[in-house]
Amino acid sequence: MLIKPAANAFTTGNPDEVVMRDVKLLTVERYGSARRVFVVVEDDHGIPVEFQRRMVAHSPSVEVEEIAGADHMAMLSRPEELVELLIRIANS
């Protein structure tokens, strides 16, 4: 049986929660070879902005962009802004 190792670096603080324990897994050398951009959406009621920023803080070498007024589904709430952002990211 194949089992996917836990690679979730984001925890709620519950000691029984399964999270990534190997701090060497998400290094710039290993995980940082691909460019990553996190899009913060401040009107997300599913993932509060404070938790989004916490995820970014625990991820090495992540660029941060924001879309004002976007909710959890930015592709529906702010599609034009999302497309413009993705094009800008791809071109840089």
pLDDT of residue 70: 96
Which residues have C-beta within 8 Å of that of residue 2, sequence separation ≥ 6? none
Q: What pTM did the predictor assign?
A: 0.64
Which residues have C-beta within 8 Å of that of residue 81, sequence separation ≥ 6? 67, 68, 70, 74
Render pLDDT for 34-71 as a digit per residue (tens, 0 to 9).
788 999 999 999 999 999 999 999 887 789 999 999 99
What are the distances in angstroms from CA 73 to CA 34, 69, 80? 24, 11, 13
Q: Where are the domains of the chain?
A: 36-91
Q: Does residue 31 register a pLDDT over 70? A: no
Q: Is 60 strand, coil or helix?
A: coil
